[in-house]
Structure 1
Amino acid sequence: MTQTQPLAILFADVSGSTRLFEERGDVEARRIIAGIIAAMSEIACANGGTVIKTIGDEVMCTFPAAVDAVNAACQMQRRTTQDPEFTRDGLGIRIGMHHGDALLEDGDVYGDAVNTAARMASLAKRDQIVTTASTFRGATSVGGVRSRSLGRTRVSGKLLPIEIVDVIWQEDTSNITLVQSVIRMDDGSDRAHTLTLRFRGRVIELSPNSPPFTMGRDATNALVVDAEWVSRNHAAIEFKNGCYMLADRSTNATYVQFEGDEELRLHRDEVHLRRTGAVSLGQPIQTGPADVLYFQCG
C-alpha cells in the first residue's frame, strides 16, 4: 500500500570505521559498528521513530515530527561521544535530516523529504547534525538546543536554495564558535545531485536519472578496468533514495576514501558517496594503483 504523509527523515553514518577494521580485524570491527547501529536504532525507537534500513555503517530512520528527530539526533551524538567502547576506537557519527512529505511504499520511504535529508547528510561532518532551517524551527519544544546558520544550498527538485543549519547538540558549548559558516552553492543551475567522476583524464557526470554506472573487467561495463585483481562485474554506482550508493559485487573488494577520512574496504556491501573522494577496484588506494576513480558530489 502506498501513502504520502509528512515525516522527518534522518540519515546517520559512522565516521572512522576504516581504521577500526585495520586495527581490530573484520569480525571485531563489524561487532563494534553493529553496536553503534544498534544504539542509534534504539534511540530512534525510544523517540517514536522507525528504522527503515541499515546499509553498511549507515542507518535511515523516520519520525512523525521534527522535534522527535532533533531529540533523537542529539541523543545519538551524545551517546557515541560518551560511550567508552566507541570513543576509545576514535569513532563518531554524522547526521543529516529533514521534515517534509514522504511516500511510504512496501516498508521503504521515497520522495522530496528523503532527497533533502540525504543532501543534509552529505553536507554533515563528523560529530555534526545538519538540517534545514524549517525543520529546526518546527522542533520548537527541544529545550536547550541551539543552531547556527550554514547559509543556503541547492537541493535537487527545489527551485530556490534552502537555508540550512548546524544543530548544536553539545551540552558544553564553550569551545564551539557560534558563527555563520556558509556552504557554497552553484547559482548557475541545480546541480546538487550531480556526481562527477574522473578516470584517466575522462570526465563522467551522473544525474539522478542516469542508469546504474557499472564497473569491472567485462567489456559490457560503463567503466572497463582491465586488471587481474578486478572482477568481471566488480561494482556499481546508482542513485537511490536521494543519494548515490556504491555497491561492491567483487571477490577482492572495493576501496573507498572520502576526503579527510581513512580508507574504507567495501566487500559485498554498499556505501553512501558523499563530498569528494577516490575509489579503487580490487586494491587499496594507499598502495598507489594506477586505476583510481575520483568522485565529487554536487
Structure 2
Amino acid sequence: MSTSRPQTILFADVSGSTRLFETKGDVEARRLIAAVLDALSLICQQHGGRVIKTIGDEIMCTLPGAINGLLAACDMQRKMARDIDFVRDNLAVRIGLHHGDALEEKDGDVYGDAVNTAARMASLAKREQIVTTAATVQGIGGKSPETRSLGRARVSGKLLPIEIVDVVWQEDTSGMTMVQSAIRLGDAAGHSAGAKLRLRHRGKLIELDENSEPYMMGREATNHLVVEADWVSRTHAQVEFKRGHFMITDRSTNATYVRIGEDDELRVHRDELHLRKTGTISLGQAVVLNVQDVIYYEAD
C-alpha cells in the first residue's frame, strides 16, 4: 500500500554524457559516470537521504526536508568543482529538486506531484546549476543558501506556471556569469510582466504569453503547429516561456534553424535558444531551402 508524506525529491545527472561516450569510449565513459554517481550517492546519504535509483547518467534521491535537499545539492556541485579527477575530465552535473508530498511504495520507489516537479526542475537546470521551486526555499530562513529568481516555468499537471529559482552554491560568487547572476526572487515578475511572442506561419498568427503552455511544432497532427514535410520530425520543436524568456527547444533529427535579427542563421540541434527581437524559424532545413514553411517570430 502506498503512503504519502512530504519529502524532498532530487534529480542529478551528468552534463554532456553523450559527448563523453564519443570522446572517451564506452568503457571509460561508464567508469567516469559511475564514479560521479557514487560520489553523489554518498553526499545524499550524508544529508540523511537515500538513493531511490540510478538510470544511466542520472540519480534520483529523496531527503527528509527542504534544507537537507538544498545543502546536499550544494555539496554535490562543490564536490564536482573541487575533485581533481572530475575537474581533469571536465565532468559536471545539473541538479533539480522540489519539496512536497510524494507517494512512497513498499519497494521504496516514490511517485506523484513532487517527483514530477523535481524532474521538471532538473530538465531546466544547466551544467553546474541547481534549480528548484520558490516554494521549496520559502520558510527555511537563514539556513537556506542564497537563491536568484529565474522567473516562472510550466510544470505538467499544474494549471499555471510556478516560480523557480537558481540556488547559488559557489562560495565565491565574484566570477559568476550573467546567466548565473539572474534577477533576485521577487524581481522577476516585473521583468517578464507582459512578455509576448508572436508567431506567423502561412498567414496564421499565434500569440503566446508567459502563461501559455509549451507550443509544439512538428509533422504529427497532435502538434499545435503542423508542418507536413519529410524533413520535419513528428515532434520537432517547442517554444516555451521559462527562466524569464521565450525559448525554443529542438527535439528533432534534422535540427531547427533560427535567425535572430540580422545575425547569421543558427542551427539548433537537441538544444535550446533564447528567441530575441524578431527573426525566423525553419524546421529541418535552412530558410533558403524551406521558404514556404518559414515561421516568422516577434518577441516583446
With 93-102 and 81-90 compared, the bigger mean Cα shift is at 81-90
Could you tell me whether the CA contact under 8 Å between 1:102 and 1:109 is conserved in 2? yes
Structure 1 partner of 2:66: 66
Could you tell me whether the CA contact under 8 Å between 2:249 and 2:271 is conserved in 1? yes
Is the partner of 1:276 in helix, strand or coil?
A: strand
**Quick one: which amino acid aligns to residue 180 of structure 1?**
I
Distance 2:133 2:110 in 1: 19
1:126 corresponds to 2:127 = yes
**Quick one: which amino acid aligns to residue 183 of structure 2?**
Q
**Quick one: which amino acid aligns to residue 22 of structure 1?**
E
What do the CA deviations read for 1:197-241 (whole angstroms, capped 9, x no partner)?
A: 73xxx14648xxxxxxxxxxxxxxxxxx9xxxxxxxxxxx9xxxx
RMSD: 3.4
- Higher relative contact order (Cα pairs below 8 Å, separated by 6+ residues): 1
Counterparts of residues 105-124 of structure 1 (less than 5 Å): 105=105, 106-124=107-125
What do the CA deviations read for 1:15-47 (whole angstroms, capped 9, x no partner)?
A: 122232222211111001000011111101110
Distance 1:189 1:169, change over 3 A: closer
Structure 1 partner of 2:249: 276
- Offset, 1:142: 2.9
Is the partner of 2:48 in helix, strand or coil?
A: coil
**Which runs of 5 or more structure 1 residues have no equivalent in the other structure?**
207-224, 226-236, 238-274, 286-292
TM-score, length basis structure 1: 0.64
With 129-138 and 178-187 compared, the bigger mean Cα shift is at 178-187
Is the partner of 1:40 in helix, strand or coil?
A: helix
Is the partner of 2:167 in helix, strand or coil?
A: strand
What do the CA deviations read for 1:158-207 (whole angstroms, capped 9, x no partner)?
A: 23322111000000000225341868896486635x8x473xxx14648x
- Offset, 1:294: 7.0
- Offset, 1:53: 1.1
Is the partner of 1:33 in helix, strand or coil?
A: helix
Could you tell me whether the CA contact under 8 Å between 1:197 and 1:205 is conserved in 2? no
Structure 2 partner of 1:168: 168
Percent identical:
57
Distance 2:87 2:44 in 1: 21
Distance 1:54 1:277, change over 3 A: farther
Structure 2 partner of 1:81: 81
- Offset, 1:154: 2.3
Is the partner of 1:119 in helix, strand or coil?
A: helix
1:180 corresponds to 2:153 = no
Could you tell me whether the CA contact under 8 Å between 1:104 and 1:110 is conserved in 2? yes
Is the partner of 2:44 in helix, strand or coil?
A: helix
- Offset, 1:118: 1.3
Could you tell me whether the CA contact under 8 Å between 1:67 and 1:141 is conserved in 2? no
Distance 1:45 1:204 in 2: 46
Distance 1:161 1:142, change over 3 A: same
1:191 corresponds to 2:213 = yes
Is the partner of 2:100 in helix, strand or coil?
A: strand
Could you tell me whether the CA contact under 8 Å between 1:67 and 1:140 is conserved in 2? no
Structure 2 partner of 1:136: 137
Structure 2 partner of 1:148: 148
Structure 1 partner of 2:275: none
Looking at CA atoms only, which structure, 1 or 2, has the larger radius of gyration? 2
**Which runs of 5 or more structure 2 residues have no equivalent in the other structure?**
197-207, 224-229, 236-247, 256-268, 273-300
Is the partner of 1:120 in helix, strand or coil?
A: helix
Is the partner of 1:37 in helix, strand or coil?
A: helix
TM-score, length basis structure 2: 0.63
Structure 2 partner of 1:36: 36
